[in-house]
Structure 1
């Protein structure tokens, strides 16, 4: 059975932008928070991780800081961008420790789990465009 990948559209209704390539992120390890039928965890929220969030996640049984070379995972450090599971982000949001969200890189499938208002209130500032 082949995975069905959803259209790469972000929560703003625009084409999904890459989240991170160093470290390479995403369920498909393509640098984007793409999702599909095999992505049961909905790794759709692009964030900039913080020390506080990494400690929170580790306390919940998902240690994202420790390198796991057997899986090609170098471990995350504060400031790294990463595609988080939507429910884990929501859990952190409720606890008051949610990392900032990069809206342009957050897949619209996130909206099945998290209200858009929560994402907007926790969004990274959008850089001004040069005119």
Structure 2
């Protein structure tokens, strides 16, 4: 008996265009593919491609999410200012509410992020479009 063939939907960004990579160095994404794509196993929804800043990294540490310390056992290199990283959408919204939201790369931000934050809000922090 043949197995059914399931065609996977293309990953799209917030503009409905093909999703661009966020970062290959450091290698980011829930699946460590370089893309901010997420499947059902990614409960956190790592959908927003953000550029780390010293201020954001310090803020993140104060709210219990230390992104600066490497954890090789989880393939996590530790981040520094200037690195791009696929952020959990709700964490980005939390940083926004605290006035600490990092800049985002919209072409590399998954359209699923729009379930958490409006496009117009993301555009105000865009590093790759005006």
Task: Confirm or deny a common fold (TM above 0.5).
Answer: yes
User: Equivalences for 1:74-93 in 2 at 5 Å?
Assistant: 74-93=77-96
Structure label with greater radius of gyration? 2
**Aligned counterparts, 1:1-131, within 5 A:** 7-126=10-129
Q: How many residues align?
A: 123
RMSD: 1.5
> What is the distance in 1 between the residues matched to 2:129 and 2:92?
20
Structure 2, gaps ≥5 residues long: 1-7
- In 2, Cα distance between equivalents of 1:19 and 1:6: 19
> Which whole-Å CA distance do the structure 1 matches of 2:33 and 2:74 have between them?
15
8 Å Cα contact 1:19/1:83 also seen in 2 = yes
Q: Aligned partners of 2:15, 2:123: CA distance in 1, in Å?
A: 10
Distance apart, 1:6 and its partner CA: 6.0
> Contact 1:45–1:107 (CA<8 Å) still a contact in 2?
yes
| Distance in 2 of aligned mates of 1:6 and 1:98 | 30
Q: Report the Cα offset of residue 71 of structure 1.
A: 2.0
